[in-house]
Every structure is written in structure tokens, then in C-alpha cells.
Structure 1
């Protein structure tokens, strides 16, 4: 019954919008699109030249400047708009030339120049419009690829409140080499954040490989170090000798126990319920994923307490290496201490705004922020009493015989 009622409530407003409100919105959209495509500035320039000519009566001196109208229209309008501006400029030029007594051969030269400029501007507008359509198609594909690669994370996963912010350095592509994932498993919530060496499509392919192996291994393997080992083996088979991925893999297998494996990545930041920020530096630093064969070192498991009200921020070096015009790095720990709140989404929104202001609005490297907070049980109880959402718990954990959380990965 509830499903049928929800379906009906979704269907009725949609039909109503199509019959009434939707038609008005579509009309407003068409009007806005028409206004956006209208060459307002070129028309103003043509009008200004005409007024100057009428006021000064200079004739031939001002008529050639009418070519600025179609030339400027090529940067803002479609080919039809350019042709309209050119036709208007030519018509006004002929009228003004006849009014001011411009010789016929000179007027023909002016009109020929206007026709040539209009034709070239229309061609330039057509090419620009075609490139814009190709770029729009590429952006839509990139957005679809990013949606498939970096699946949206809900605001509540297991016992945690979660928020994510991601900015690609290649803003036109809207996708980069940073990666993150947070999944509930039979062994608790597990997460990863990483940074692939390099940028572009090769980095995206490596990020997809890492995330695919992580999502499968995180659900299959009871030991977090074994999850890391499976990612390492997969990268060893598929990466070049100079390619690697820095990453932090973490898990929450039982209440108040957080496991962290740091593979050459920036250390997470732990925020206590009192608001103090502490960097979780690795006790035994390990090489990035993909370089274990060169160093022979294996990662180790670090266990941290995570009490009610505590938060953990995972991030990539695109955040901490962001510089302002004075070449000063962004102080993430201080910024987190300033903006920390009980809402992870609000905290990351404030951090992202401060980061963008620090760099002047353009990052030079991919940047990802993943913040999770373990709410106090009293908060959960008040939210339920107020009609808030209830988080579905993780699947029950099967018997994990022989799990050694303190050993190194094979």
C-alpha cells in the first residue's frame, strides 16, 4: 500500500506540471534562451555608431565602424544572429551613406567590407558553436564517468554521518585522479581515499581499477590488511614501474575501534568531541600502493579510538598543497578547527569555500575531502523522536576466524 501511495503521489504532480505550471516554465525557459542568444551588445554598438553619424554628419568616417557589430556578434551569437546584425549594419550603412552624400563607389566598398566581415563572422560563429556542442558532449560523458567512478555517498552510512567534497583540477573535464569510496560490509564500514600519480585519462583508469578492487575486497576479506594486499597485487600487474597510488584505507570493525592503513598518503585528521584536531601520523610509514616490490616494506595496521562525537577527515594533497598568490600553503588543520561543526556537510562547505578563496578560485591539483562523524546516541534518539531518518545498519558480520588485525599484509 505504501509503495502504491508513493507512486501515485509522484505521478500526479508530474502530470499537473505538464498541463499547467510546466508549460509556463517551458515558456520562460524559451524566453530566457532567446534573450541569451540575442546580440544585445553588437546592436548597441551599431546603434551608437548610427547616433554619432547622425549627430556629427561625418558620413564615410563612421560607416566602416559598423563592421564591429557582426564581428562582435560572432563571439556571443549563433550564425543567424550574426547575419541579422550584418544585414542591419549594411542597411543602415546604405541609408546613412545616401543621406550624407557618400560617393557610390565608396559606399559599395563599405558595403562589400561589411558583407565580407559578416560572412567571416558567421563562419567563426558556426565553428565556435560546433566546438561548444562537442565540449558539452564531452562534459556530459565526463560527468557520467565520474558518477560511475565516484558514486555519490549518502549522508549516513552505518553509524556515521558522512560528507564529501571533490574538485578536479581539469575543471572542463570535471574528473581527475583522486578517488574515494565508503561502503558498509559484513566487517563494518570501510573506506578509502587515494591520489593517483599523474592526471588525465590514465589517472582515471588507475582510479577505477583501485576502486573496483577495493569494493570487492572490502566485502570479501575480514582482514583490512588483506584488502590492501589485494589492491597492491592488482596494481603490480597493471601499472608501470613509475606509477603508484597513495592511499589511506580505514575500517570500523567494532564500536569505538577504527583501523587505519596508510600507504604513503597524507595523514588523516582526527577531531575530538571537544573540537581539538590531531594529525593521525603513521607509526610505521609504508610506500604507496604499487611500489611495494621496489622497497620490500609492508604496511601496518594502526588502531585508533573513535568515541561518540569524534570526527575523521580524509583528504588528498591537492588540499594541503594548495597555495595562494604569496605561495603560502593552505593550513587544513587550522581551517578544520575553525569550521568544525556537528554537521559534516556544513563543515566541508565552509572548508571548501575557504580553500577556493585561498587559491583565488582555481585549484592546480585534484582535491578531495571525506569527513565522517560518529554522532552521539543522544543525538540519534532526538532525531528519531523528531521524525528524522534512521540509518540502516551494516549487514551482520559472519564468523571471522583467524583474523589477525595486528599483522602485516602478506
Structure 2
């Protein structure tokens, strides 16, 4: 999939100028106009021609090399015009004009290098985005008896990728969801996230007991991480209106019911995947209209002036109305406003709503009881 991604070749010399090129060109022309005005007011001989050497370098900070070259040629011609206007061209003036031409060549080369680097960064950013999308498949809008929506909020504007992960599937054992957070960022985190998701997409269909799913995922993580690496995760199963949650060192989901927000803390703490967690399930009976918010710790760590975002206090007002996708959009807007657009960590959000039992008979038995019965 990644091999099919291509960026368009740079076309700065074709079509309209980019905003950066327009800004660089405008600043350089303003400088040339200012120096020319001062030179004309001063009269002969030319005293300020040397200042025009700054014009191509000023353009090189933002504009393409073609624009820089054009600015440099214009500056050289203006300088030569002032030099020729002298009755007797001085050696200093001639050297200044030659210096403008030399500066133009240097500035154009600098702009070319900067342009190639910007193009490479843009390509890497696009590849990072595609890699993230390949790992995190779109969810919803309906998975079994659950309306589901997911949202990924990046902490940077340059699409830096991290290890937040989620998935939802309708399996023979009910609708199962996972949300997790890999320690670290970058391609190593994405690699581990893809390993966890790949394993989960297989074992979620094979294991009747969520505890067995956790065991398999822990083995997959342990085979692929160092001593200090781990993955926090929460696994959720809805089966016949019964909600089962196992938690491996992850923030507790929030249950939204009739205006109340209930943190679904685990019966006992368990370490993250990679540290052989022994989990105890928490079981809740769902009512139609119940909503469950799953999130990574970036939401819990979001703060401004030392004050953390009040997720539980605002959850019902933000998430309790409209569709689940509308709810996540409202939460993201409120969060970004709270932190003034500056997040310290990426955030993955999953919001699900129980829409009622399936048509036909379904055993309302949590997965841990199914596993016990089969053993």
C-alpha cells in the first residue's frame, strides 16, 4: 500500500506562486524599492547599491529558487543602472554590482536545497499519514448492536505518528473493541501497534474468553519489545447486552447513562501488555442508549496552566447527545480550545452506543463465563 504513494513533483515554476514564494518576493521587492529610493534621493555617486545584495537572500528564506533568481537578476540590473549613471564608474561600485550577482547565485542554490528538503519532509509526512491510516482502519458507523465512532487527534501539525491504536469487530462472541497506547512515538511505535492490532484481529475471533485474548496479545508484545517497552490496553466485549471489560494498565472507560458519568474501574489493577498481566473482568449490564467512551492517556494528560481537562465533568454535556460521531467532534473541539491548540501527546478516542439487543435469541453471557464453561 505504501509503495503506491507518490507525491507530485515540485512545480514552483508553473502556475500561481505558493504563499511562501509570494511572501519572499514581496519582501525582496520592498527592499529593492527602499534602497532604490534612498539611492535616488542621495544622488551620485552610488553609495547604497551594496545593500541590494540582501534581496536575493531575503527571498531565499521563503521563495523558490526561480523566484530568488528573478529577484537577484532584478537587483543586479538595478545596481548596474546606478553604476552606469555615474560619470565615472568607481571600482567600489563595480565590485558591489558583481557582489549582487554572486549573492544571487549563492541564494538560488540555498533556496534549491531548502526546497528539496521541504519536498522530502512533505513526502515523509504523507507517508506517515498513510501508515497511520493503514494501521487504524475506519470504524463504524455500526458494528453489531453498537453505534461506533473513532477519532485520532495528533499532538503535532506535521502528522507525526504515534502508537495509539483501536479496533472494533463483530465476532462470534459478541462485538469486541480494543483501545491501546504503545510507549513511545514514531515508526517503532507504529510497528508495535500494527503487531498488536494484527494479533488482535486474529485472536478476537478465536478466543471465547477475553482473558485468553489478553494472554495472546501479551505474548505478541513480549516477542517484539525491549525491556522498557509496553502497551497499555483496554478490551471491551458486548454480548447480549452484557458488557465485559478487561484493563491492562489503561485509563478506565467512562459509561454515560441517563446524565451520569461512571468510570468503569477494573476490580483489580493489572500491568500493561508485555508484563504478563493477570486481569479480572468487570461486567456491567447495558441499557439501550448507554454510551461508553474509551480513550488513551493523552486525554487525561491534556492541561492548561497546570489544570487538567475535566473529562468526566464535561462528558455527558459533550457526548450525551447527537450521534456518536457528533459527540467525538464536540469533545475534540472543547479539548483543543481548552489547551489552546497545544497537546503534549496524541489522543485516540472511541465512543460507542448500545442500540439494543440483536433480533433473535442471544445468550447474555460475558466472555469470561463462556470461557469458564468451555474449560
Given the alignment, which residue of 131, 137, 160 partners 2:117? 131
Shift of 1:169: 3.6
Given the alignment, which residue of 264, 275, 288 partners 2:259? 275
Structure 2 matches for 1:295-334, cutoff 5 A? 298-324=278-304, 326-334=305-313
Deviation per CA, 1:33-59: give whole Å up to 9, x if none. Answer: 567644233223322332343345476
Q: Does 1:404 align with 2:369?
A: yes
Q: Does 1:265 align with 2:230?
A: no
Q: Aligned partners of 2:87, 2:28: CA distance in 1, in Å?
A: 26
Q: Equivalent residue for 1:71?
A: 57
Q: Equivalent residue for 1:362?
A: 342
Given the alignment, which residue of 86, 90, 97 partners 1:104? 90
Task: Decide which structure has greater helix share.
Answer: 1
**Aligned-pair Cα RMSD in Å:** 3.0
Q: Is the 8 A contact 2:281 2:368 kept in 1?
A: no
Q: Aligned partners of 1:35, 1:241: CA distance in 2, in Å?
A: 47
Shift of 1:173: 4.5
Deviation per CA, 1:363-410: give whole Å up to 9, x if none. Answer: 221211111123479xxxxxxxxxxxxxxx89x999x9x9725869x9
Q: Any unmatched runs of 5+ in structure 2?
A: 1-13
Q: Equivalent residue for 2:3?
A: none
Deviation per CA, 1:319-355: give whole Å up to 9, x if none. Answer: 111222x222222112323322222222222221222
Q: Does 1:249 align with 2:214?
A: no
Equivalent position SS for 2:229: coil
Q: Is the 8 A contact 2:182 2:231 kept in 1?
A: yes
Structure 2 matches for 1:74-85, cutoff 5 A? 74-85=60-71
Judged with a 3 Å threshold, the aligned counterparts in structure 2 of structure 1 residues 205 and 35 are, in CA distance, closer, same or farther, namely closer
Q: Aligned partners of 2:246, 2:32: CA distance in 1, in Å?
A: 67
Shift of 1:31: 4.2
Q: Is the 8 A contact 2:160 2:186 kept in 1?
A: no
Q: Aligned partners of 1:100, 1:111: CA distance in 2, in Å?
A: 13
Range 155-164 or range 240-249, more displaced: 155-164
Judged with a 3 Å threshold, the aligned counterparts in structure 2 of structure 1 residues 233 and 81 are, in CA distance, closer, same or farther, namely same
Q: Aligned partners of 1:59, 1:224: CA distance in 2, in Å?
A: 87
Equivalent position SS for 2:228: coil
Q: Any unmatched runs of 5+ in structure 1?
A: 1-29, 378-392
Q: Does 1:224 align with 2:210?
A: yes
Shift of 1:241: 2.4
Query: Given the two structures, how large is their TM-score scaled by the length of structure 2?
Result: 0.86
Q: Is the 8 A contact 1:187 1:397 kept in 2?
A: no
Q: Aligned partners of 2:223, 2:72: CA distance in 1, in Å?
A: 61
Q: Is the 8 A contact 1:248 1:263 kept in 2?
A: yes
Q: Is the 8 A contact 1:169 1:176 kept in 2?
A: no
Given the alignment, which residue of 186, 195, 206 partners 2:192? 206
Q: Aligned partners of 1:313, 1:368: CA distance in 2, in Å?
A: 11
Judged with a 3 Å threshold, the aligned counterparts in structure 2 of structure 1 residues 224 and 50 are, in CA distance, closer, same or farther, namely same
Q: Aligned partners of 1:55, 1:407: CA distance in 2, in Å?
A: 95
